[in-house]
Amino acid sequence: MNRDRVCIEGLTILTTIGVYDWEKSIKQKLVLDIEIAWNNQPAGMSDNVEDCLDYAKVSQSVIDFVENNQFDLIERVAECVAEMILQDYSVPWIRIKVSKPTAVVAARNVAIIIERTNV
C-alpha cells in the first residue's frame, strides 16, 4: 500500500476571518499545513516534473481562494480548502491544519485539523 504524501507547510494567508464585527473589517493571518496523498513513485523513478503533484499550483489555488473569500470560522476554511483540493486535483486523501495565531491572546496558536477522502 502506497502511503506517499506531498506536504505544504506554513502556507501563510491574510484574509477576513472571525465572528465578531471588528474582525469582519480587518485581515488576519491564517497558517495552513496541508498534507496530500499522492503517489510520488512515478516522479521518483522518472525524475520528470510532469509526474509530480504541482504543489506550487496547489499553494497558489489555496492562497487565491482564502484571500478572496470571507469566513467566520477556521473550521469552514478547512472544509472549503479540502473540498477544493479534492475536486480540483483528484487526490484521494487530504489532511489540513488551519491555525489562527491571534485567536487567543494567552496562546501561541489555536488550530483545527481535519482529514477528508475523495469519495
Q: Read off the pLDDT of residues 1-15 as tens digits, 9 standing for 90 and up.
A: 689 999 999 999 999
Q: Read off the pLDDT of residues 68-95 as tens digits, 9 standing for 90 and up.
A: 999 999 999 999 999 999 999 999 999 9
| Domains and their CATH numbers in the chain | 5-117 (3.30.1130.10)
Res 71: pLDDT: 96
Going from the C-alpha of 40 to that of each of 5, 43, 62, 64, 105, the distances in angstroms are: 7, 6, 21, 26, 40
Band the pLDDT of 119: cuts 50, 70, 90: confident
Q: How would you label 60-70 residue by residue, b for 16+ Cβ within 10 Å and e otherwise?
A: ebbbebbeeee
What's the pTM value of the predicted model, to 2 decimals?
A: 0.93
Task: Identify whether 24 is a catalytic site residue.
Answer: no
Q: Read off the pLDDT of residues 24-69 as tens digits, 9 standing for 90 and up.
A: 999 999 999 999 999 999 999 999 999 999 999 999 999 999 999 9
The C-alpha cell at 22 is 471588528
Res 2: pLDDT: 81
Res 80: pLDDT: 98
Instruction: Pick the catalytic residue from 27, 29, 97, 100.
Output: 100
